[in-house]
Amino acid sequence: MKSKDVFPGVFSRHARAYRDRMVDQVPTARLMVVELVGPQEGERVLDLACGPGTITLDLAAAVGPRGRVLAIDLADGMLELLREVAPPWVETQRMDIEQLHLPSASFDVVTCGHGYHFVPDLAHALAEARRVLVEGGRFAASVPITGGSGGVADLVGDVFAGVPPPPETPDRESTVAILDDAARLAALMESAGFRDVRVDRVEEEARFADAETLTERTFSWWQFAWRLEQLDEARAAELRQDVRRAIDERVTEWPFVTTNWSAVFSGHA
C-alpha cells in the first residue's frame, strides 16, 4: 500500500479520538516547534499536516486577527474539527505537503507538528516548505523517532497477535530512515535551501491516569484503530476486554508512564 492510500483515511475516521488524546497534554516536541519559530502579531503562518489544530490554535493566538494562518491536511475529518474551533483568521484547506499549491515567498513562518514521517518524498516536501517562505522566514517541525521504553505496543502487543497487522507503507521507508539520522536530516534541509539548521532530540513522557484511560488511548492510536476496523463488532468488543485484562494484570502502579523520542528540526529561509 502507498502512504496516501492509508493515512488520510484512517486519521480522518479517527480524528476525534486523536484530538481527545491531545487534550490532557500536547507533546513537548510540538510545543517546541511553536517556540522555535516565535510567531509574531500580524505574520502569515502555514501549518502543515495540521491535524485537529494541535499547534494551529497556538499559532493563531500569537499572530492575532491582523495575521493569517493557513492550516492544511489530507484528512478531511481533522480539518472539520479544526474549523469548529478556529478563529476567523485561520483558513483550512485539504492539501498535500509535498505539493503546495501556493505562491512562492508567501509566508513568514512554516510549521509541521508530526507530519513529515508520513511523506514518501521528504526532499521534495522540505523544498516546498522552503519555497513558500519569504527570505529570512522561519521553519520548524517535529517527528517521532525510534527509542523510548514502556510503550503501549510493548504492553499489549501480544493481545493483537491474531489481528491483521497495520498496512506496510514501503514508499516512506527512506523518509523514516533519514528522520532517524540527525546528520542526514540536517544535510537534506541544507540541500532544500535552509540555513542555520538545527536538529534536536527530545524525550517525551506520556502519562495515563488509570486502566480505562490507557485502554481508550490504545484503541485510538492509528496503528490499533486501523486493525480494529478489520474486525466485526463482536470481535472488536472481545479484543477490548482482552486489552483491559492485560493492562490490569501487567500494570501495578498508576499513573502508567511511557517515554518516547521526537526529533525537532528547524532553520531559516
Helix (H, G, I), strand (E, B) or coil at 24: coil
Question: Would strands 107-113 and 133-149 be described as parallel, antiparallel, or unpaired?
Answer: parallel
Q: Cell for 217?
A: 488511548
From CA 186, how far away is CA 5, in angstroms rounded?
29
Q: What is the dihedral of CA 50, 51, 57, 60, to 10 degrees?
A: 20
Does this model's pTM top 0.85? My answer is yes
The Cα–Cα gap between 151 and 169 comes to 22
DSSP state of 59: H
What pLDDT tens digit does each residue of the chain (269 aa) get?
Answer: 899 999 999 999 999 999 988 876 778 999 999 999 999 999 999 999 999 999 999 999 999 999 999 999 999 999 999 999 999 999 999 999 999 999 999 999 999 999 999 999 999 999 999 999 999 999 999 999 987 655 788 888 899 888 888 889 999 999 999 999 999 999 999 999 999 999 999 999 888 999 999 998 888 888 888 888 999 999 999 999 999 999 999 999 999 998 889 999 999 99
Say what the pLDDT of residue 152 is. Answer: 80
| Angle separating helix axes 28-37 and 56-63, nearest 10 degrees | 30
- Identify which of 173, 56, 43 has the alpha carbon closest to the alpha carbon of residue 121: 173
Helix (H, G, I), strand (E, B), or coil: what is residue 94? Answer: strand
Given a contact cutoff of 8 angstroms between Cβ atoms, the answer to whether 95 and 124 are in contact is: no
The whole-angstrom separation of Cα 10 and Cα 15 is 8
The pLDDT of residue 81 is 98
The pLDDT, as a whole number, for residue 221 is 86
CA 123 from centroid of its chain's CA atoms = 18
Residue 73, pLDDT score: 98
Predicted pLDDT at 150: 59
Cell matching residue 106: 508567501
The full set of domain ranges for the chain reads 3-149+168-209+259-268
Peptide bond into 255 cis (omega under 30): yes
35 vs 13, 22, 23, 42, CA distance in Å? 30, 18, 19, 17
Terminus-to-terminus CA distance in the chain, angstroms?
34
Alpha-carbon gap, residue 163 to 6, rounded angstroms: 18
Task: State phi, psi for 155 to the nearest 5 degrees.
Answer: -75, -45
Q: Is 193 exposed, middle or buried (0-12, 13-18, 19+ CB in 10 A)?
A: middle
CATH number of this structure's domain 3-149+168-209+259-268, picked from the four choices 3.40.50.150, 3.30.470.20, 3.30.70.260, 3.40.50.10320: 3.40.50.150
CA–CA gap between residue 75 and residue 85 (Å, rounded): 17
